[in-house]
Amino acid sequence: MKRVGKQTWLFDEGVYIQAAAAAVGPLEADGPLGKYFDICYRDLYCGEKTWELAERRLMREAVGRCLQKAGVSAEEVDLFLAGDLLNQQATSNYVARELPIPFLCLFGACSTSMQTLAAAAALVAGGLADRALTATSSHNATAERQFRYPTELGVQKPKTATFTVTGAGAALIGRTPGRWRIRAATIGKVIDAGLTNPLDMGAAMAPAAADTIEQHFRDLGASPSDYDLIVTGDLSRVGSVIVRELLAEAGYDVSEMYNDCGLMIYRPDQKVFAGGSGCACSAVVTYGYLLHELARGAFRRLFVVATGALLSQTMVQQKQSIPAIAHGVVIEAAGQEPDGPRSGGM
């Protein structure tokens, strides 16, 4: 493991995703990626009494299914890293309460999926853990009632608004060679472009995503064509166009291989405004669909850049602008030659 350039970690020693799992709610199960998710709930309450308990169940089920797929018991895991959107990270802390694993809680808003994955990979590569488990979750109703309004309140949302994904993703990182290898991670800086509208988070987060992607290319001397897919977390219809434009202005043309998880998870006719968002958006798309495509051979190397709007209800009400962050992780189909012709600076 070494640092390359300013913000990028390169994992030479072989850090693998041993297993991953995704649990989702009804709208996501009904979306185009529905068949790739391990656990689908037909009811937004997931059989629980409150929205918060439903989110907790999603994360607990994703973690359980992930460990089951890896054939590893919780006792054999050395570290658990998780985060979510609720105040005081309620979902993660309460799920960790049920696990006999040392726990680090991380907050990166919707960037938590790649934040925890990057941190876990570094800790495993550094020998501080043999196996590290990561998880993140979000729930449409818990996010609505905490960050916005009661779920049944009549509010006409604009086209720029995003729709929080209901779901949870979990991944187990270890050194045993597996199907997916974590090659690199780029840790983002907090970027605040000065936007204040919490109903347009795509535009607020796009500069952070562009900054991390550019930095990644610079640190590694890589170019967009080194990747089969560069995917952002939840920039949605508004932010994904902006990030493409920002990168084009910096001389990087990503139009061939760029997509956004918030656009992939729902069908265009589902009523989700500009697209999906939330911690679970990048987590379930990556751990459910993208890893499946890597294993199948559809992609060889992808760069997942999870984007987070570090939104605080109080700060927004005090007219403060919205800081944003993006963390990227490069995941490769294992068994590929790491120094193949298309590997660029890696």
Q: How far is the CB of 75 from other proteins (least distance, A)?
A: 34
Taking the alpha carbons at both ends of the chain, their separation in whole angstroms is: 13
Which pair of structure tokens corresponds to residue 165? 């994904």
Question: Binding residue for other proteins (CB under 8 A) from 42, 73, 177, 250?
Answer: 250
Q: How far is CA 322 from CA 49, 57, 318, in A?
A: 33, 30, 11
Measured distance CA(209)–CA(305) in Å, rounded: 7
> Would you say 305 and 326 are in contact if contact means Cβ atoms under 8 Å apart?
yes
Measured distance CA(136)–CA(114) in Å, rounded: 10
Which pair of structure tokens corresponds to residue 273? 């405004």
Q: How far is the CB of 271 from other proteins (least distance, A)?
A: 8
The yes or no reply on residue 6 touching other proteins (CB under 8 A) is: no
> Would you say 28 and 138 are in contact if contact means Cβ atoms under 8 Å apart?
no
The yes or no reply on residue 154 touching other proteins (CB under 8 A) is: yes
The region of 3-11, 66-74, 151-159, 220-228 touching other proteins under the rule CB under 8 A is 151-159
The region of 178-186, 191-199, 278-286, 295-303 touching other proteins under the rule CB under 8 A is 191-199
The yes or no reply on residue 218 touching other proteins (CB under 8 A) is: no
> Would you say 292 and 125 are in contact if contact means Cβ atoms under 8 Å apart?
no
Measured distance CA(314)–CA(103) in Å, rounded: 28
The yes or no reply on residue 238 touching other proteins (CB under 8 A) is: yes
Question: Binding residue for other proteins (CB under 8 A) from 21, 62, 195, 229?
Answer: 195
Q: Between 43 and 82, how does the x/- string for binding to other proteins read (CB under 8 A)? A: -xx---xxxx------------------------------
The yes or no reply on residue 40 touching other proteins (CB under 8 A) is: no
The binding site for other proteins (CB under 8 A) comprises: 44-45, 49-52, 140-141, 145, 149-160, 193-195, 200, 203, 207, 238, 241-242, 245-246, 249-250
